[in-house]
Structures are given as C-alpha cells and as structure tokens.
C-alpha cells in the first residue's frame, strides 16, 4: 500500500477548519480565500480516500475519519512547532517568534510593552491576537498561543499564571452627570442608573456582574456594547454609566471627557496576569518576554493614578 500523498499545508488548513468548525472562519484565520481552503480539504480527502467532514444544515461536523485525522494532524503540527522552538533557542534571542493573545482591555497597554521589548530584540517576530475572555480560554485550551495576558485565570484549567499589575475597575460618568463630584456615593444608588456593559464572554462584564451579585444588588437597566471604546463614547454621550478598567481611560480622564465616580465599595480590584498552559515548553523568546513583563512592566507602563471626581 502506497503512503498517503498529503502536505503540511493541507494538514494546517484541515486543522484550522476542524477547530473552527467552519470553512469561513478558517479562511479568515489563515488569510486565505474560502475556495482555496475548500480545495485543500478536498485534496486531503482524496488522498485519504474518505470524507473528513459532513454537513448538516449549515453546520459542518467531523466524520469518524475526520476525528482520527484531527488527532494525527494536531500531533504532527505540535511536534513541528516544538522543533521550531528548539531551533529558535539554538539561534538565541536574536531571532524567534512570539505569539501573544490578550484580553481586549489589555490592548490599551500591551502594545507599549511589545514596543519596548522589540526595541531590545528587533529581530523577534510578534503575532498579537486581541479578543475577549471566552476566545482566550479557547486559545489556551487548544495551545494556539505562547502566552496570554488577561484578568482572572480560569479555575478548571491547569495553568501557570502570575500577577504583574493591578487592574482596578472604576465607575465612569460624563462630567455633567448629577453624581459627578459627589463623595462616598452608596453602591445601591447605582441601581437607579442605566449601565453600558460589555458583551457576553467579556472578563470585565463577568467581574461586574459577579461584584453586584456578591453585594446583593443587580443592574436594573443595561445596554450592551461590543468594546470598551463603544462604552466610553456612549458614557460621554450621556447614554448611561460604565464600569471599565482604569487602564482604558487615560486619555479621556486627561482631556476631562469622563470622570471617575467616588462610589463606596469601588473600585473593583482585579489583577492582570500573564499565563500559559502548565507543562508548555516556552521558547527562549517567550521566556524572555515573560520575564520582561514580570520585572519591567511597571516601569514601562507607569499605570494611571486613580483620581475620583
């Protein structure tokens, strides 16, 4: 029996389709056209001699052969990635690749960290994925990234997670709001206000909802927004109040477009973590970036100081 005539390109494309359960999402992730992705999968199926996907309605699923192929594809790609890391380590810190996935809120400061790191190691190639908490957990689970920067680590995943900076969540309002300038505002008073909140899957939203539940309160009126920028603009326009990380507010507070309310029990004190899967073999570049974040982030970032209205 002749060996299957398949290529690494086909395996990578098949793996992306299998993980995303979508030809469209896989093509976007790989920066390829959907017909190109479909053609590579079809050629792989011809090489195997069995269908790897089946379509039910608009959803695609792995066949039994597809599930077997995914196991082999993941193993092959993982071994090749590890070999890549070993060779990068042999080359030293002059070269290498760094894959970072960060919470969307962290994108307000992570580019500055990366810029400082890349000035020191200019030949390092960096890939930055900015997304919400739900997608970050998938990236960790599927071992798609070297390091993740986010808020509270998940409890049901075996991770190495280390704190490198505080992340206070503060209540914000436009300067013209009746509560602006008041001192020690009772937390219960916020129940009377409309709050602009992040989408489901956001760590900021989860922390906000958990905080109010712990205090026996609930937000009676909310408006969902897809980003911190949208919340800031909505609060500035007078649509309601917001609860956001202080790290997202540096420009608006400096320009006095928004104010931080002096609310009893706030800010919600959280932390920023840098993390990776336990047992993961970090490349020399990833190890150095992790040390850089833990040891030098405070000096590079100089977080904004909390000033209430």
pLDDT tens by residue, 109-127: 999 999 999 998 888 889 9
| Residue ranges with strand state E in the chain | 53-56, 59-62, 96-103, 124-131, 147-150, 159-173, 194-198, 221-225, 241-245, 259-260, 268-277
* Topology of domain 8-78, CATH: Arc Repressor Mutant, subunit A (1.10.10)
pLDDT the model gives residue 185: 94
The full set of domain ranges for the chain reads 8-78, 84-165+271-301, 167-270
Pairing label, strands 268-277, 159-173? antiparallel
pLDDT the model gives residue 94: 56
**Nearest Cα to 234, choosing from 269, 196, 272?**
196
| CATH of 167-270 among 3.30.70.20, 2.60.120.260, 3.40.50.720, 3.40.190.10 | 3.40.190.10
pLDDT the model gives residue 4: 64
Q: How far lies 264's CA from each of 120, 140, 194, 211, in Å?
A: 43, 36, 18, 13
How far is the C-alpha of 84 from the C-alpha of 174, rounded, in Å? 51
pLDDT tens across 168-179, in order? 999 999 999 999
Domains 84-165+271-301 and 167-270 share a fold: yes
Q: Read off the pLDDT of each residue in 195-218 and give the average, rounded to a whole number.
A: 87
pLDDT tens across 29-40, in order? 888 999 999 999
pLDDT the model gives residue 13: 93
State the average pLDDT for the chain. 88
pLDDT the model gives residue 134: 85
| CATH of 84-165+271-301 among 3.50.50.60, 3.40.190.10, 3.20.10.10, 2.40.50.100 | 3.40.190.10
pLDDT classification of 92: cutoffs 50, 70, 90:
low
Buried b (16+ CB within 10 A) or exposed e, 78-115: eeebeeebeebbeeebeebbbbbbbbbbbbbbbeebbe
In this model, does residue 228 exceed pLDDT 50? yes
Alpha-carbon dihedral 176, 182, 184, 189, rounded to 10 degrees? -60
Inter-residue contact 145 to 129 (CB < 8 Å): yes
In this model, does residue 88 exceed pLDDT 80? no
Inter-residue contact 272 to 246 (CB < 8 Å): no
pLDDT tens across 256-288, in order? 999 999 999 999 998 999 999 998 888 888 999
Inter-residue contact 129 to 102 (CB < 8 Å): yes
In this model, does residue 2 exceed pLDDT 50? no
Inter-residue contact 39 to 50 (CB < 8 Å): no
Q: Read off the pLDDT of each residue in 187-202 and give the average, rounded to a whole number.
A: 88
Q: Read off the pLDDT of each residue in 72-85 and give the average, rounded to a whole number.
A: 84
By mean pLDDT, which of 165-174, 200-209, 236-245, 252-261 is the weakest? 200-209
């Amino acid at each position: 029996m002749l060996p299957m005539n398949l290529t690494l390109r086909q395996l990578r494309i098949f793996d992306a389709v299998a993980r995303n359960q979508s030809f469209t999402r896989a093509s976007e992730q790989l920066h390829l056209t959907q017909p190109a992705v479909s053609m590579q999968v079809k050629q792989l199926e011809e090489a195997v001699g069995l269908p790897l996907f089946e379509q039910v309605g608009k959803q695609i699923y792995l066949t039994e052969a597809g599930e077997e192929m995914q196991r082999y594809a993941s193993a092959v790609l993982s071994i090749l990635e590890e070999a890549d890391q070993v060779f990068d380590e042999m080359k030293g810190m002059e070269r290498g690749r760094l894959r970072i996935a960060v919470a969307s809120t962290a994108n307000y400061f992570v580019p500055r960290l990366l810029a400082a790191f890349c000035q020191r190691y200019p030949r390092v190639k960096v890939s930055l994925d900015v997304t919400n908490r739900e997608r970050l957990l998938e990236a960790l689970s599927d071992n798609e990234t070297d390091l993740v920067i986010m808020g509270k680590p998940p409890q049901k995943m075996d991770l190495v997670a280390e704190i490198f900076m505080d992340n206070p969540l503060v209540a914000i309002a436009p300067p013209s709001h009746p509560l602006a300038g008041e001192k020690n505002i009772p937390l219960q008073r916020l129940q009377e206000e409309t709050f602009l909140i992040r989408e489901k899957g956001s760590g900021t939203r989860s922390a906000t909802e958990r905080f109010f539940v712990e205090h026996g309160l609930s937000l009676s009126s909310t408006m969902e927004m897809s980003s911190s920028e949208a919340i800031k603009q909505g609060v500035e326009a007078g649509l309601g109040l917001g609860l956001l990380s202080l790290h997202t507010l540096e420009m608006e507070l400096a320009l006095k477009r928004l104010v931080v309310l002096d609310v009893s029990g706030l800010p919600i004190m959280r932390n920023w973590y840098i993390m990776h899967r336990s047992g993961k073999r970090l490349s020399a570049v990833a190890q150095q970036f992790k040390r850089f974040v833990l040891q030098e982030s405070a000096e590079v970032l100089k977080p904004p100081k909390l000033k209430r209205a």
